[in-house]
């Protein structure tokens, strides 16, 4: 049953991804794919849950954790895209392909298919956990530990995004760096929250069995890697260094790069 359910999930994800690709080609902008990251994971969790005949409390908890997180993030990123327009990261990535007339193929291969594959992998704890824990009745202490970590992550992510949105909405802050609120303790409270959410989901999913933990740990591991070392923190901070220079260097000297810690003394 689990294999058939995962194949069905993959087919649904591929179909939705191709529809979104067609839309991106029509509007000449792929940036909205970021908002699909959360929605796609919520979709995979929900379709997994829908394929279970009698989902127990643990399966329902895992579905709810993924769906609540995913829909919130998706709406936030979609509204940001509508407000700010094309993301410069994707514009740079596809600039040469756009000039050569290869935008459609490049968007499919460099953005949409890759995102779908990574999305499916990162969401594996929710999918496997829901399908394997379908009939598990009691909510174990391990699942509650995962839920507690998820709550912490949601708090950091929601509050961090809210503080950043308010900061950007104030014209007086143009050209400045947000270094108050949660951003005083970590340069990326939203990324830290993201990792806590998916490590929490993974911990809760391990109530379904040790093999679930072993097969799906790649999800939160890769998410942590990409947010801290690849396309998240590293890419964002490279742009911040160019834009803010010494002001950003001083912020880096004072503020933890990921884990929330008391600020250090300025240089």
Distance CA 66, CA 150 (A): 10
Are residues 140 and 61 in contact, defined by beta-carbon separation less than 8 angstroms? no
Q: What is the dihedral of CA 221, 223, 224, 228, to 10 degrees?
A: 140
Give CB contacts under 8 A, 24+ apart, made by 18-25: 18/112, 20/112, 21/107, 21/108, 21/112, 24/107, 24/111, 24/112, 25/103, 25/104, 25/107
Which tens digit of pLDDT belongs to each residue from 231-241? 778 888 888 88
Whole-structure pTM value: 0.93
Which tens digit of pLDDT belongs to each residue from 95-137? 999 999 999 999 999 999 999 999 999 999 999 999 987 667 6
What single-letter DSSP state applies at residue 265? P
Output the average pLDDT for the chain.
93
Residue keyed to tokens 């290869």:
102
Angle (nearest 5°) at CA 155 between 149 and 160:
130
Which tens digit of pLDDT belongs to each residue from 35-58? 999 999 999 999 999 999 888 899
3-state secondary structure of 31: coil
Residue 88 has a pLDDT of: 82
Domain range summary for the chain, segments of one domain joined by +: 2-254
What single-letter DSSP state applies at residue 266? P
Residue 152, pLDDT above cutoff 60: yes
Are residues 133 and 59 in contact, defined by beta-carbon separation less than 8 angstroms? yes
CA distances in angstroms from 57 to 13, 35, 60, 79, 207, listed in the order given: 25, 29, 5, 33, 12
Q: Compute the average pLDDT of residues 181-200.
A: 97
Distance CA 80, CA 57 (A): 34
55 or 15: which leads in pLDDT: 15
Are residues 207 and 142 in contact, defined by beta-carbon separation less than 8 angstroms? yes
Q: Compute the average pLDDT of residues 160-178.
A: 94
Residue 256 has a pLDDT of: 95
Residue 93, pLDDT above cutoff 90: no
What single-letter DSSP state applies at residue 183? G
């Amino acid at each position: 049953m689990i294999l058939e359910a995962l194949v069905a999930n993959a087919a649904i994800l591929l179909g939705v991804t191709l529809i979104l690709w067609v839309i991106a080609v029509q509007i000449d902008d792929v940036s909205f794919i970021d908002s699909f990251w959360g929605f796609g994971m919520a979709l995979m969790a929900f379709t997994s849950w829908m394929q279970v005949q009698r989902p127990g409390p643990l399966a329902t908890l895992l579905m709810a954790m993924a769906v609540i997180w995913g829909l919130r993030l998706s709406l936030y990123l979609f509204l940001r895209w509508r407000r700010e327009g094309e993301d410069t990261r994707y514009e740079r990535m596809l600039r040469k392909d756009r000039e050569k007339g290869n935008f459609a193929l490049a968007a499919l291969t460099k953005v949409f298919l890759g995102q779908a594959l990574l999305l499916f992998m990162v969401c594996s704890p929710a999918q496997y956990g829901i399908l394997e824990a379908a009939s598990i009745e009691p909510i174990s202490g391990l699942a509650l530990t995962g839920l507690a970590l998820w709550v912490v992550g949601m708090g950091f992510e929601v509050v961090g995004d809210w503080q950043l949105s308010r900061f950007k909405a104030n014209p007086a802050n143009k050209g400045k760096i947000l270094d108050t609120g949660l951003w005083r303790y970590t340069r990326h409270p939203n990324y830290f929250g993201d990792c806590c959410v998916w490590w929490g989901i993974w911990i809760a999913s391990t109530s379904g069995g040790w093999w679930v933990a072993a097969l799906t740990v790649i999800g939160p591991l890769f998410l942590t890697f990409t947010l801290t070392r690849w396309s998240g923190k590293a890419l964002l901070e490279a742009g911040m260094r160019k834009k803010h220079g010494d002001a950003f260097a001083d912020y880096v000297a004072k503020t933890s790069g990921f884990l929330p810690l008391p600020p250090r003394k300025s240089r």
